[in-house]
Amino acid sequence: MNRAGDCECDDRPETPLKRCVHDELEHYFEALEGESPVDLHKMVVGETEQALLHFVLQRTGGNQSRAAQLLGLNRATLRKKLRHYGLTP
């Protein structure tokens, strides 16, 4: 097991998306001013998933079948996620 800061994932090629997420997490932690975040994983995954679903729906003109295909989800799963995030019309 690695110590904090010794993450082997740092050796992998960086993508623009990974860099963007890293930078936003840096800003988030700075804004906490030393406080510990609560449910960080749940927050990051939820906000990221919601943004992804919204973006893909826009790109597909609201076509849920096409959006599900692009996301690699079945349409029922997509619809459930859309309801969860309040993204249904």
> For residue 78, with 0-12 CB atoms within 10 Å meaning exposed, 13-18 middle and 19 or more buried, which class applies?
buried
3 three-class SS: coil
Q: What is the pLDDT of residues 1-57, one digit of tens each?
A: 444 555 665 667 789 999 999 999 999 999 999 999 999 999 999 999 999 999 999
The domain segmentation of the chain, as residue ranges, is 8-84
Count of Cβ atoms closer than 10 Å to residue 10 Cβ: 8
CATH superfamily of 8-84: Homeodomain-like (1.10.10.60)
14 three-class SS: coil
Q: What is the DSSP letter of 37?
A: P
pTM of the model: 0.78
